[in-house]
Amino acid sequence: MSQLKRFTISLEKTLIKQFDDYIRRQNYPTRSKAVGELIQKALLEKEWTTARDIAGVMVLVYNHHKRDLVNRLTDIQHQFYQLIISSQHI
């Protein structure tokens, strides 16, 4: 388990009340746990928004007998050709 380091912050009373209400609604056991998770979330969001190449996969399951669906999917692939680099039909 990592070592905990204690630090102090000063906030306006109204902000503390809002934060305590948030803690209760989210069922955090302590302020420390809530602050830690919020800091971790903010740092992770910052890391995710940093410009860099990202790859992903989208899987679609569909009824190929449905009228015009295959044509519509092909149109979407052509419209977003710079993002959709391949497709596969099984």
Q: What is the pLDDT of residues 51-70, one digit of tens each?
A: 777 788 888 888 888 899 98
The mean per-residue pLDDT over the stretch 81-85 comes to 88
pLDDT in tens, 12-62: 999 999 999 999 999 999 999 999 999 999 998 888 777 777 788 888 888
Domain ranges in the chain are 13-49
| 19-27 contact pairs (CB < 8 A, 24+) | none
Per-residue pLDDT at 1:
54
Read off the amino acid at residue 42: A
Query: Does the predicted TM-score (pTM) go above 0.85?
Result: no
